[in-house]
C-alpha cells in the first residue's frame, strides 16, 4: 500500500487566481506537484476547507507572504505520501489534517511537519478538513490570547460562521457562559442549539444593550470579534472590568472612535491577530496546544464541525459565492480527490 502512495505524479490539478476580483477568476489549472524541503510532509489532499481569507486573497485584499504558495487554501485533510527530515511523527499512509501556508486548493500540498494533526477519533476526512485553520484561529485567539476561563462570560460575533460555530462549541464545553450574534432569527436559533445561552439578531437588536441587560450591566469577560469598525466602541460598552476584546477580522472596517478613559478605568485589553503571517514555530505552538487541550472534546463527540455544503474542487468559484452570500451555518468544504 505504501508503494502506491509513493507513485506521486509530477503534475496535479489545482485552483489558481487568474486575476484579482470576482469568484469566476478562480480557474482550474495544472501545476507541478510541490517538492518538499527538510522537515516537510507532502499530503495527497482529500478535502480542503473554504475560508474568508481565501476570498480576501482572491479579491487582492490579503497579502500573501513571500514564502507562501500563491494558490489559495489554508486547511486540508488527506494522506501523507512523502516526508523529509528527522523526528517526523507521521508516516506515509497516515491520515492527517493540516494547516497550510497556502496551496490547499490542490491535489497535493507541502506543509511543515509541526502543522499536521492526527484525525480525532470518530472524525471523517470531510470533518477533519474543517479543523486546522478554523479551530487554530479560535483556540489561539479565544483561549491563548483572550485567556478565556471556565465560568467566564464570552460574546462571539458571527455566531453562525465556521469560526463562530467552532468558538461557541469550544467555549461552551470549556465551561464558559456563551452569548453570540447572527444575522437572522433562524441563524440565532441554530446557534443557540449548539451552545449559546442567547444569540442576538444584530439586524434588529443592539447587542450591547441586550448583553448589559442580561448581565446586570456587568458585561462579558471576553469578546471574539470579526467585524471591528463601529463594533469596537459598542463592544467596549458591554465588556466587563478586566475584559478582553480580541479582534480577528475587520469585515466592518478598520477604524472607530474609542474612549480610552473608559478603557483605562475598566482595565480593558484590546488585542488581535492574523494567523497566516506568523512564524512557523508559532503555528506549531498553536497546533500542539490545540491537540493537547481540546482534542478530548473532539474525540468524545461533544464537538463536531458543522458542514453546510460540500463542493468539488472544480467548483471553487461556487464555493466562494456561497460563502460570500452569507446565509449559511457552519463551513463550506471542497472534495479534492
Q: What CATH number does the domain containing 329 carry? A: 3.90.180.10
Regarding whether 108 and 127 lie in a shared domain, the answer is yes
The whole-chain average pLDDT of the chain stands at 95
**Are 264 and 162 members of one domain?**
yes
The pair phi, psi for residue 262, each rounded to 5°, is -65, -35
Residues 243 and 178 reside in one and the same domain = yes
Q: What is the pLDDT of residues 39-53, one digit of tens each?
A: 999 999 999 999 999
* Residue carrying the nine cell digits 506543509: 111
Mean pLDDT, residues 293-322 taken together: 95
**What domain range includes position 166?**
135-272
150 and 64 in one domain?
Answer: no
| Same-domain check for residues 103 and 185 | no
Residues 334, 312: contact at Cβ < 8 Å? yes
Q: Convert the pLDDT of each residue in 98-153 to its tens digit.
A: 999 999 999 999 999 999 999 999 999 999 999 999 999 999 999 999 999 999 99
Whether 2 shows a pLDDT value over 80: the answer reads no
266 and 327 in a single domain? The answer is: no
Residue 4's pLDDT is what? 47
Question: pLDDT tens, 188-199?
Answer: 999 999 999 999
Tens of pLDDT, residue by residue over 48-76, are 999 999 999 999 998 899 899 999 999 99
The pLDDT tens digits of the residues spanning 246-296 come to 999 999 999 999 999 999 999 999 999 999 999 999 999 999 999 999 999
User: Structurally, how many domains does the chain consist of?
Assistant: 2
Domain boundary among 255, 272, 289: 272
**Domain final residue pick, 252, 272, 292:** 272
**Choice between 319 and 88, residue whose per-residue pLDDT is larger:** 319
Confidence of residue 6 (pLDDT cuts 50, 70, 90): low
My answer on whether 6 and 112 are in the same domain is yes
Q: Residue 268: give its domain's CATH number.
A: 3.40.50.720
The pLDDT of 152-174, averaged and rounded, is 97
Q: Does the CA dihedral 226-228-229-233 come out positive or negative? A: positive
Closest CA to 181 of 216, 136, 243, 225: 225
Same domain, 27 and 127: yes
Compute φ and ψ for 236, nearest 5 degrees. Answer: -65, -25
Based on the fold, state whether residues 125 and 159 are members of the same structural domain: no
- pLDDT of 87 higher than 80: no
Amino acid at each position: 500500500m505504501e508503494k502506491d502512495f509513493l507513485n506521486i505524479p509530477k503534475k496535479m490539478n489545482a485552483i489558481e487566481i487568474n486575476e484579482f476580483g470576482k469568484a469566476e477568476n478562480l480557474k482550474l489549472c495544472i501545476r507541478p506537484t510541490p517538492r518538499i524541503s527538510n522537515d516537510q510532509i507532502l499530503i495527497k489532499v482529500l478535502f480542503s476547507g473554504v475560508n474568508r481569507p481565501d476570498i480576501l486573497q482572491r479579491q487582492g485584499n490579503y497579502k500573501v507572504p513571500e514564502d507562501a504558495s500563491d494558490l489559495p487554501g489554508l486547511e486540508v485533510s488527506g494522506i501523507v505520501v512523502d516526508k523529509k527530515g528527522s523526528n517526523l511523527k507521521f508516516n506515509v499512509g497516515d491520515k492527517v489534517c493540516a494547516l497550510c501556508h497556502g496551496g490547499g486548493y490542490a491535489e497535493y500540498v507541502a506543509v511543515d511537519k509541526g502543522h499536521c494533526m492526527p484525525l480525532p477519533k470518530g472524525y471523517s476526512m470531510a470533518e477533519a478538513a474543517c479543523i486546522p485553520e478554523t479551530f487554530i484561529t479560535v483556540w489561539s485567539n479565544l483561549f491563548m490570547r483572550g485567556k478565556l476561563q471556565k465560568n467566564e462570560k464570552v460574546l462571539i460575533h458571527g455566531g453562525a460562521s465556521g469560526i463562530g460555530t467552532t468558538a461557541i462549541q469550544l467555549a461552551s464545553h470549556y465551561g464558559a457562559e456563551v452569548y453570540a450574534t447572527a444575522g437572522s432569527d433562524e441563524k440565532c436559533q441554530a446557534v443557540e442549539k449548539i451552545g449559546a445561552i442567547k444569540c442576538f439578531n444584530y439586524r434588529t437588536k443592539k447587542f450591547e444593550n441586550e448583553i448589559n441587560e442580561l448581565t446586570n450591566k456587568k458585561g462579558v469577560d471576553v469578546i471574539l470579534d470579526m467585524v471591528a469598525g463601529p463594533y469596537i466602541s459598542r463592544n467596549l460598552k458591554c465588556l466587563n472590568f478586566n475584559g478582553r476584546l480580541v479582534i480577528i477580522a475587520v469585515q466592518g472596517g478598520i477604524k472607530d472612535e474609542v474612549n480610552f478613559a473608559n478603557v483605562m478605568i475598566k482595565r480593558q485589553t484590546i488585542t488581535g491577530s492574523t494567523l497566516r503571517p506568523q512564524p512557523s514555530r508559532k503555528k506549531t505552538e498553536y497546533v500542539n496546544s490545540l491537540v493537547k487541550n481540546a482534542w478530548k472534546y473532539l474525540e468524545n463527540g461533544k464537538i463536531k464541525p458543522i458542514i453546510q455544503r460540500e463542493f468539488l474542487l472544480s467548483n471553487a468559484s461556487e464555493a466562494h459565492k456561497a460563502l460570500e452570500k452569507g446565509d449559511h451555518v457552519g463551513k463550506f468544504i471542497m472534495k479534492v480527490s
